[in-house]
Amino acid sequence: MNCHQVRQLLNPYVDGELDLMRKVEVEEHLGQCEECLARDRSLRSLRSVIATEAPYYRAPRQFSAFPDASVGGPTGKRNRFTGTRHSRLRLCC
Amino acid sequence: LESDERRRFEAIVLPHADAAYNLARWLTRDADAAEDLVQEAFYRAARYFHSFRGADARPWLLGIVRRATFDWMKNRPSTIPLDMEVHDTGDDSLDPMSAAVGECGKEDVRQALENLPPLLREVIVLREFESFSYQQIADVIESPVGTVMSRLSRGRRQLQILLTSAMDGGRR
């Protein structure tokens, strides 16, 4: 494999999406090519900074899928799409 | 839904509320809209639950969240087109000189990710936050695996450009 072919495969390589044969070919090339190895490290560094620094937004409340069973009552916030009121308590009770 | 189906739905779909909200939140960049969209997605999911055949409900639910979110985005003016290049260097891999992006802080990373076009942002979110395989991402975005690979590559390259630029700005 040449540098161009390897660079095309670096993303699936770091994502573990290559079949064994291609994975071995990429690894052989990285063992001999400093520039492609630096790109591999750069990609891993980017993935790592996303994993450690980007927030994972957790759901701010419990959700229900059944508006007819709502016990949220008239104080529930109205969904701007469905016009129904959220049942904020249903899954908590 | 019948009560058995309803219990099954609550057992296998509702537990993915965090993943649903995280995707909607990153795509909309709006906490209130994301909350409403996830609620809407759960209503839709319950309505179509009879057609769900897979073992893992998370990609299925996220596909519904995505459709609801893109419907919402179509009706809103946005400063970021769905699929815009920030700046394309023409090389599919990342600049070897930019390993320093690893030193970026939380705010830089959040802003860079938010400034990616939504079609590139969503594949990054599904891969990096949910650890979805390319096939699972393809199922969620209803596109071939080749499209997933190409968008991931472009998205990461653009993120690197944005982060490098943010770091250069911070040094000045």
Q: Which residues contact A81 (CB under 8 A, 6 or more apart)?
A: B36, B37, B39, B40, B68, B72
Residue in B39, B105, B124 nearest the CB of A63: B39
Q: Identify the pLDDT of residue A4.
A: 95
Size of interface A-B (CB pairs under 8 A): 143
Q: Which residue has the tokens 């996830």?
A: B38
CA A58, A61, A64, A67 dihedral sign is: negative
Mean per-residue pLDDT, B91-107: 70
DSSP B101: G
B86, pLDDT greater than 50: no
Per-residue pLDDT tens for B10-40? Answer: 999 999 999 999 999 999 999 999 999 999 9
Per-residue pLDDT tens for B37-78? Answer: 999 999 999 999 988 988 899 999 999 999 999 999 888 776
Q: Which of A12-16, B48-52, B154-158 has the highest mean pLDDT?
A: A12-16
**pLDDT: which is higher, A55 or B85:** A55
Rg (CA), chain A: 24
- Looking at every residue in chain B, the average pLDDT score rounds to 87
Q: Identify the pLDDT of residue B3.
A: 83
Mean per-residue pLDDT, B147-163: 93
**pLDDT: which is higher, B16 or B101:** B16
pLDDT tier at B94, thresholds 50, 70, 90: low
B90, pLDDT greater than 80: no
Residue in A11, A38, A81 nearest the CB of B152: A11
Question: For chain A, which residues lie within 8 Å of any Cβ of chain B, measuring from their own Cβ?
Answer: 7-8, 10-12, 15, 17, 35-36, 38-43, 45-51, 53-67, 79-82, 84, 86, 91
Q: Identify the pLDDT of residue B81.
A: 62
Look at residues B41, B82, B113, B14 and name the one whose alpha carbon lies nearest to residue A55. Answer: B113
Per-residue pLDDT tens for A47-91? Answer: 999 999 999 999 998 888 876 654 333 344 555 555 554 544 333
Contact A43 B94 (CB under 8 A): yes
Torsion angle, CA of B85/B89/B93/B95, rounded to 10 degrees? Answer: -120
Chain A hits for B109, Cβ within 8 Å: 49-50, 53-54
A85: helix, strand or coil: strand
Q: Identify the pLDDT of residue A59.
A: 95
A78: helix, strand or coil: strand
The model carries a pTM of: 0.85
Q: Which residues contact A22 (CB under 8 A, 6 or more apart)?
A: A9, A13
